[in-house]
Every structure is written in structure tokens, then in C-alpha cells.
Amino acid sequence: MQGSNKKSNLADQKAFKKLVTELYKAWESQDVSKPSRFYSKDPDHVFFDFAPIKYTGWKEYAAGVKKTFFDNMPPNASRLAMKDDFKVMRWGNVAVTHSTIDFSARLKNGTKMKETGRHTAVWEKHGPRWQIVHDHWSFPAK
């Protein structure tokens, strides 16, 4: 992808910001079936989450996030907020979104988590819908 072919405009910015905001709300639900609609189901796609280091395919990703995070949280115990630095770059049917995020959660054992992190997603257009084919969530090392 060459930079000269990049198409990014205000309409893309608004559309993808809305899409990513909906994605974050879906993850906040703590029900992996809700963010599922945003992700490609190709079994070879790789997703990097907070922990562990990677998941291969949506099935592994959904099961891993449920076990690692959501099974350890009471209902309505997580928040994910986009900061004001959201950006999108688009090349035809491929787009990359990135932003910093505020993440907070409460575990069943009472432990509270509050972090500022990063989220980057690679989107591919399939018919009328954009789907994530790779994403990366992370926190800075402490």
C-alpha cells in the first residue's frame, strides 16, 4: 500500500469513529457474541489482546477473552473509552484505525484495573460491511 493511494477524509473519520465506538460498547457488554459481528471469521487471522500474547482466529480469540477476562468479572464491570486521538487511514477496501483508550474493570475478587492503552485495528471491506482482520490491544510497560 503506497501512501499516495491513501484515501482518508472527514466521512471516513466519522464512519470509522462510529464503528469503533460501537465495537468498544460491544466489548463492554462482556458478551463475546456482541463484538463477534465486527470480526472476520477467517481461522488464520491473528488478534493481539492484553493477554496472552496472541489468538489465532475468532473462535480462539472469543474463547480466550471470555476465559481470561469476562469469566473473572461481575456483570457491567468493564469500561472502554476512546481518547481524542482517533485516526483512520484507508486504502480502498482496507483501513487501519488507531487510538489510545482508557480501560477500567473490576474483578470478582475485588481487584480494580485502570489503564491507559492503545488499540489498532486493520479492517477489510466484505460486501457492504467492514470487518476486523487483525487488531492489537496493549498497555505501555510499567
DSSP annotation of 39 reads B
Report the predicted TM-score, pTM, of the whole model to 2 decimal places.
Answer: 0.90
Instruction: Pick the range with the lowest mean pLDDT from 16-30, 42-56, 95-109, 123-137.
Output: 42-56
Span 112-138, pLDDT tens digits:
999 999 999 999 999 999 999 999 999
Count the helix, strand and coil residues of the chain and give each as a percent rounded to the nearest 5: 30, 40, 35
Tell me: pLDDT of 6 over 70. no
Tell me: pLDDT of 109 over 60. yes
Instruction: With CA atoms as reference, report the closest residue to 23 among 39, 1, 5.
Output: 39
What cell was used for 39? 470480526
Query: Where do the domains of the chain lie, and which CATH numbers do they carry?
Result: 3-36+44-138 (3.10.450.50)
DSSP annotation of 51 reads S
Question: Looking at residue 53, what is its pLDDT?
Answer: 83
> Average pLDDT in the 75-82 region?
94
Placement of cell 470478582 in the chain: 108
Tell me: pLDDT of 60 over 70. yes
Question: Looking at residue 2, what is its pLDDT?
Answer: 47
Cβ atoms of 134 and 47 within 8 Å: the answer is yes
